Amino acid sequence: MDRIKGLELSGAEIVVRCLQEEGVELLFGYPGGAVLWIYDELFKQDKVRHVLVRHEQGAAHAADGYSRSSHKVGVCLVTSGPGLTNAVTGIATAYMDSIPMVIISGQVPTHAIGEDAFQECDTVGITRPCVKHNFLVRDVKDLAMTMKKAFHIATTGRPGPVLVDIPKDVTVNKCEFHYPETVSMRSYNPVKKGHAGQIKKAVQLLLEAQRPMIYTGGGVVLSNSSAQLKDLVKRTGFPITNTLMGLGGYPATDGQFLGMLGMHGTYEANMAMQHCDVLLAIGARFDDRVIGNPAHFAQNPRKIIHIDIDPSSISKRVKVDVPIVGNIPDVLEEISKLLKEAKPQDIKPWWKQIGDWRGKDCLKYDRNSKIIKPQFVLEKLYEVTAGDAFITSDVGQHQMWAAQFYKFDQPRRWINSGGLGTMGFGLPAAMGVQMANPGATVACVTGESSIQMCLQELSTCKQYRLPIKIINLNNKYMGMVRQWQQFFHGNRYSESYMDALPDFVKLAEGYGHSGLLIDKPADVEPALRETFKRTKDLVFLDFLTDQAENVYPMIPGGKGITEMILSEDL
Amino acid sequence: MKHIISILVENEAGALSRISNMFSARGYNIESLTVAPTEDASMSRMTVVTVGSDEVIEKITKQLNKLVEVVKVVDLSEAEHIERELMLIKVRAGAKEREDMKRMADIFRGRIIDVSDNTYTIELTGDGKKLDAFIQALDQGAIVETVRTGASGIGRGNRVLRV
């Protein structure tokens, strides 16, 4: 603790001191009128490094990517009004995926609030539905405690973004600075320890299971529970699947891993979900893209155990038999401990059944195509980077192919907007990832439509010399929109074709980077190899890919998890 | 089914809108909502009357508990409880109707709290059903204006909601 007796600091100084106290190394932001005093204080110190983005959405996504890849809190700073509203998409993205972030926004002076002042907006009102919590600081005396609370709330329980709105006069006013060591809030006490009785019940069910299945989500990644999960899976010998958000939580190259499940999950993972008799769900939330129609899912009888830190995620879409609210690593350790003395059932017949489902080879595609297949690019990307890269993605077909074809063996390597599905996320998120992991290989898998949504950040990448590799799967279509239009809208490709695309190579060059156009399958691997050798440069790889390619398998919206469209069906 | 949910919440700016936002954002319905500080000025107590299946009510209480400023949540309807609501109702009471209206108010144990040449304002407390019944019992043409507070509720006997 750092107490400065008698010395009064301005609100702006206090903000910066709080960030220092929290060990914040990087701050993503964009200056403006209401935060000028805070920027002035940032200028006078060198502990907190500021990263200047080109658009506030980029600041929020970058802070988000920084957090996802490092397990630290992502912090961003924006000005009032448009500065904040620009960041809202990024805040909502982080909220949907439970990413711990602190957003500091400037506000017009307290006396001007409510008078429609220049660059005023009701920040607390606008962000309320897309933050874990938010604060408007009206008195400089409350500032330090509010900052402490913000970091505390963002990082405990189910994590999430917390916003602190600070009027300009509060950044000028002075008071004695004292950063509190602890926070105690009678209204906020997240549960940590799982209920012992429930854990016993869960173990009993696991031991009786003939057709067990483990299904894990982003919660495993966020709570750093991969080691405990691996221990449990190995101890039991049970099959496991990950959600889109959970990829990397369990090593994808392991034999017990059935691939991702859900709308574009593997045949074997989805079939095993439907036909298992005991389902252990960990840090996942049975959302619509994962289990499809809950009524269809409920047709097969099975016992469900659900471990989650957030009680409101339990029995939200699917009725659960054994709910366990608690911190995942602790609960998993408890379960493993109890399993030590016991032996699960012989599940060979179940594995045989799963083997038959695997035989479908549901991710197969035409490897002899003369046009570049997007799946081929991702397979090669995996090979060339030896599976060791951080991969960010935007949203659409390329995202699903990356999830299917890049085998993540470690958590926090797969960085994507799973909940909100935010196009434009990939590039700014990659900036945060690269800054959290200097020297690491970072690739942004994107499409020609998504990349254009936060393209301006190429300029930030130049300023901070971020050697991100952009893998642009360019099919000139909003591919996922086109796919739905083909399947469900009679091939009426309404506004999903994008003509007048920029020359991405020249564009990259215009921002001071290099670019390469690849239009032949034979050139894919050499181009990737050359690119990833260039560890100092951002390289924009523009792959012209098959316009008609679709993501398979696919569960149509509202259908059951086993009602998949497979490539062989067409 | 109708449920009365009592919520203890930090008495901070915006707490009410956090709660009402949660109901509207998630599509839960609010029949009535009342809020006022408790004996402890740092805390407000809110009573929300909502309608939903047991599953929906469970989701509502979980989502309420998730809000950072919410201290405690209780579904009063789960056990014995008392429900009261206040209604002020202004009715036509000219020379012709005056006697009848007075008698009607007496039957429902209402109090006439304001009188003019041609109106009465009646104060009535009770559970929601009693207030509904009073409105039903009146000649609909006689009702000039009504205002209801929405239900407040409290557990019976030793059933207590406090920090």
The model's pLDDT over A116-169, given as tens digits with 9 standing for 90+, comes to 999 999 999 999 999 999 999 999 999 999 999 999 999 999 999 999 999 999
Nearest CA in chain A to B56: A316
Residue of B25, B65, B163 lying closest to A186 (CB–CB) = B163
Q: How many residues does chain B have?
A: 163
What's the average model confidence in pLDDT over A343-362?
96
Calculate mean pLDDT across residues A359-374: 95
The answer to whether the beta carbons of residues A284 and A219 sit under 8 Å apart is: yes
Nearest-Cα distance to chain A for B155, in Å, is 21
Q: How many percent of chain A have pLDDT more than 90?
A: 96
pLDDT at A7: 84
Chain B residues near residue A312 by CB distance under 8 angstroms: 59, 62-63, 65-66
Distances from the Cα of B128 to the Cα of B51, B56, B133, B150, angstroms: 14, 22, 9, 8
Contact of A185 with chain B, judged by CB distance below 8 Å, is answered with: yes
**According to the model, what pLDDT value does residue A3 have?**
54
What is the SS3 string spanning A194-209? CCHHHHHHHHHHHHHC
For residue A426, pLDDT over 50 is answered with yes
* Mean of pLDDT values over A468-493: 97
Sequence-distant (≥ 6) Cβ neighbours of residue B39 within 8 angstroms: none
Interchain CB distance below 8 Å, A188 and B65? no
Count other Cβ atoms within 10 Å, centred on residue A337.
11
Which residues of A belong to the active site?
Answer: 56, 118-119, 168, 480
CA-CA distances (angstroms) from residue A491 to A426, A495, A497, A557, B6?
29, 12, 12, 17, 53
pLDDT at A114: 96
CB contact under 8 A, B14 and A153: no
pLDDT of residue A569: 66
Whether B17 sits inside 8 A of A136 (CB atoms) is no
Taking CB atoms and an 8 Å limit, are A312 and B55 in contact across chains? Answer: no
Q: d(Cα A570, Cα A567) in Å, to the nearest integer?
A: 6
Residues of A in contact with B58 (CB under 8 A): 315
Residue A401 and residue A408: Cα distance in Å, rounded? Answer: 13
Mean predicted confidence (pLDDT) in B31-59: 95
A310 touches chain B (CB under 8 A): yes
CA of B135, closest CA in chain A: separation in Å? 38
pLDDT digits (tens, 9 = 90+) for A31-73: 999 999 999 999 999 999 999 999 999 999 999 999 999 999 9
How many angstroms separate the CA of residue A148 from the nearest CA in chain B? 15
A295/B contact by beta carbon, under 8 A: no
CB A37 within 8 A of CB A72: no
Task: Read off the pTM.
Answer: 0.96
CA-nearest residue of chain B to A124? Answer: B14
pLDDT-derived band at B122 (thresholds 50, 70, 90) equals very high
Q: What is the DSSP letter of A259?
A: E
The single-letter code of the amino acid at A496 is: S
Are B18 and A128 a contacting pair at CB < 8 A? yes
Q: What residue of B is the nearest CA neighbor of A154?
A: B68
Model confidence at A570, pLDDT cuts 50, 70, 90, reads: low
A72 touches chain B (CB under 8 A): no
Interface residues of chain B, partner chain A, Cβ below 8 Å: 9-10, 13-14, 17-18, 21, 25, 55, 58-59, 62-63, 65-66, 68-71, 163
With an 8 Å Cβ cutoff, is A109 touching chain B? no
pLDDT band at residue B163 under the 50/70/90 scheme: confident
**B97-101 own/partner pairs: CB under 8 Å, 24+ apart:** B97/B142, B101/B142
Residue in B14, B68, B70 nearest the CB of A124 = B14
* A110 interface with B at CB cutoff 8 Å: no
pLDDT band at A1 (very low <50, low <70, confident <90, very high): very low
pLDDT digits (tens, 9 = 90+) for A274-313: 999 999 999 999 999 999 999 999 999 999 999 999 999 9
B157 — pLDDT class (breaks 50, 70, 90): very high
Alpha carbon A85 to chain centroid, angstroms? 21
pLDDT value of position A476: 96
Residue A191 clears pLDDT 70, i.e. is over it = yes
The pLDDT assigned to A568 comes to: 74
- Residue A176 has a pLDDT of 97
Average pLDDT (A408-425) is: 98
Average pLDDT over residues A464-469: 98
- Contact: A136, B18; criterion CB under 8 Å: no
Inter-chain contact A188–B58, Cβ cutoff 8 Å? no
Which candidate, A59, A48, A54, places its Cα nearest to that of A23? A48
A381 closest CA partner among A370, A393, A368: A393
A129 lies within 8 A of chain B by CB: yes
**Which chain B residues are within 8 Å of A316, Cβ to Cβ?**
59
Write the pLDDT tens digit of every residue in A81-100: 999 999 999 999 999 999 99
Interface test with B, best of A127, A137, A184, A187 (most B CBs within 10 A): A187
Of B25, B59, B68, the CB nearest to A133: B68
Q: Per 3-state DSSP, what percentage of chain A is helix, strand, and coil (rounded to 5)?
A: 40, 20, 40
CA distance B80 to chain A (A): 26
- Judged against a pLDDT cut of 60, whether residue A112 lies above it is answered with yes
Q: ipTM value, please give it.
A: 0.92
Say what the pLDDT of residue A5 is: 61
Residue A4 has pLDDT above 60, yes or no: no
